[in-house]
Structure 1
Amino acid sequence: HVMKMCQAFADNGHEVIFLLPDRSRGCEPGVSDIYAYYGVKRNFQIRKFEYQHLKVKFVSQIRQMQKSLHELDPDLVYGRCFLGCTIACLSGYKTIYESHLPLWRSGNIKKLWFSLVTRNRNFKRLVVISEALKTLYSKEKIIGEDKLFVAHDGADSIDDFQSKAELSGEKERLHVGYSGHLYQGKGVEVIAGVAPLMTEVNFHIIGGKENDIAYWKSVIKSKNVFFYGFKNQTELPKYINSLDICLLPNQKIVLPCGKRDEKRNISDFTSPLKMFEYMAHRKAIISSDLPVLREVLNESNALLVQCDDFQQWADAITALQDKNKREAIAQQAYEDFMTGYTWKIRAEQVLMNAIE
C-alpha cells in the first residue's frame, strides 16, 4: 500500500522520499530489488534511518526521526505511522496522517494524544479508508469534520490483460478465484462450502501463509480446489487475468493476521485491496453484501450475496456462467475503477485542497 502510494504521488509530479526505519531483521529474505518486488517504478527515493530494537532507545528513535526530517526539510509529510506523523507535526512540518483502523484501539492515551495533535496548525488532514471508518472517528469527536477525508483504497491500472498464469485443473471449466490472505473472516470458508456443491467448477486460491494453506488443505477435501501460495505484485496479475470470476467473500468478522480477539474485527470499515485489483483486471466479481463493500460495489458492477449462505454463492456462480452477463458486470466494474479508484487518482484526491 505504502509503496503504491509513493509511486502514485510521484506519478502526479511530486518529489517523493519514503522515509522508514532500517529494520533489516524484518526484511523479506531473498529480495534484492524492493521496487520490483512490489511492482512499482523507481520514481521515488527510499531512505532509512537507524532503528533501535530496544524500547529504552525510544528517545533515540525520536531524535533519529527529527534528524532525518531536518535533513530532508519536506514541504509535506504524509504517513501511516502515528508516531512519525506526530513528530513531523510537532516539529513544524505540514502533516497528513492516514488511518486504516480506529486509533483508540491501541489505548486511550494514544486517543488523547491524537486529539491534541490534530489541533496543531500543522496537522492538515486525517485520511480514512471508508465512510464507515469516518463515522467511527466522527462519533468519538476527537477531530473536526473539516479535517476528515475518505479515500478508499485502490489499485494500479492494468496495461496487460493477455498474460496469464497456468492454472491447475481442467482448462475448459469455469475458473473461479480468490486472491489474498487466508486468515479468519477473509472468506476461504465460503470456498470450502461451495466447492463440493459445484464439482464442475475449478476454484483457485492465490495467497496465504504456509501454515494457513496447510490448515485449509486439511479442511478442504474437494478435488476442484487448488492452492498457489503467495504471489508478489509482479506475478499476481497473471493469475487474476486467468480467472473468469473473482470472489470477495468477506465475513461479518474479519480478524487481522494473528489476532484472536473479536474486538479487533475490521470487517465493518475495511477497504480490501483485492476488490480494486479485481475491478482493475476487468473481472466479474461476486461479493459479500456488506455495507462497507457497498460503498464501492453495487448491483451494476458485482453480484452481491449473503456472506455466509453457500447456496447463494453457488447460485451467483451459476448465473455468471452466462458469458454476456459476466462481461457486462466486469466492464462496469472496470469503468468505475478507472474513473475513481486508481492509485494515481487516490494520490491526487488525498492532497486536494489540503495545503494552502
Structure 2
Amino acid sequence: MMKVAAAATSLSLVAAAPYTPPTYTTPSNLTHPGLDILAKRAGLLYFGTAIDNVVLNNTAYVSIAHNVSEFGQATPSNGQKWMYIEPQQNVFNYSMADAIMKPAKEAGQMRRCHTFAWHSQLPDWVNNGNWTKETLTAVLENHIKNEAQYFKDDCYAWDVVNEAFEDDGSLRNSIWLQVMGPEYIELAFKWARQYTGNGTRLYYNDYGIERVNNKSLAVAEMAKDFIARDIPIDGVGLQAHFTVGRAPTYDEVSAALTLFDDLKLETALTELDVRILLPDSPEKQELQAEVYTNATKACVDVAECVGVTVWDFWDPVSWVPESFPGYGNACLLDDDLQRKPAYYAIEKMLDEVAKK
C-alpha cells in the first residue's frame, strides 16, 4: 500500500509533521457517501467497526453496521473470544461469531478476527485447570487450530495475541506466561500461520501503545526479534481507546505507528473510541472530534497503516460505561443513531485528503 510515510530513522523516531484539524461543530456539506468510501479515496484499505451480538435484534443498528459504504470491515467484538468459542474443553460453538461474520461476508465487508490468545474472557476450565506446560501448550494449539480452520479464508487478519505486555514493557503475568513461559507468544503466531494459511494477516494487538513509550518499544523489540527469527508476524494493532483530555496527539500517534512502519509491518487502529467524562457538552464533543480526527489522520499519513476500526459506532452499546463508570458517549453515533461532530470531522478530513 503506497502512501507518504512519516519521517523516521530508528526506534527513537522523528515525529511526523504536525496536523491541526479544523473545528467542526456543525455537519459538513458533504452528501455523506460513507466513511469507508472516503477512507479508500484517502488511501486506506478500510474504515470499519466492531459489532456486538447484544444488539443484533435492532434492525436500524444492523443496517448501519453492515452498510459497506460506511463500514467496509467488520470485527466481532466478543463472538470470537475464547469463552464463547470453546466454553468447555474441546467443545466449540461458533454461533455468536457466525451471527456477525456471515452477514459481514454477504455484505461484502472485510473481516478482522479477534482474538486467539488473551488473558481475559477465558472460561473457568482454562483459568482453573491444573495445567503443566505440556498440557496447556496442547490446549492453546488445539484452540487456535480449531478456530483458525473454521474461519479459514474468512479473515483478512487475526489478532493472534492480545495485550501480552504491561505498561512498563514487561510481559503480563497471565496464565499463559505462568505456565508456558514467554514462548507462548511465538508459538501462537506459528500455529496461527500453520492453521490459517498464508493469506491471513497475523497481528499482535494491544492498548496503550499509541505513544512511543516503554510498552510500544517493547512490542517493537518483540516484533523485530520475530522478524529476525522468521516468526510469522504481519502487523501490529494499536487499539486506540482514548479519553478526551488525555488522548495522544497526532504527532504521538504518528510516531507510534512509525515504530512498526520502520519494521515494514502493517499497522491499524483496531478499537478506536474516545470516551467523555459525563455530563457531556458541545465543548467536549468538539474535543472528542479532534481526537478522532487526529488518530485517523495519523493512520492516513503513515505508509503501512491500512485502516481504522471503531469499537462500535453507537453510544448505547459501547463497552465504556460499564468499564469506566462516569464516562460514556464514546462513539460516532448518539443514542438516536444520529451522527455526532466526530463523525463529521473524520468525514471532512478524509474528503479533503482525497481531493489533494
The normalised TM-score by structure 2 is 0.32
The normalised TM-score by structure 1 is 0.32
Higher relative contact order (CA 8 A, sep 6+): 2
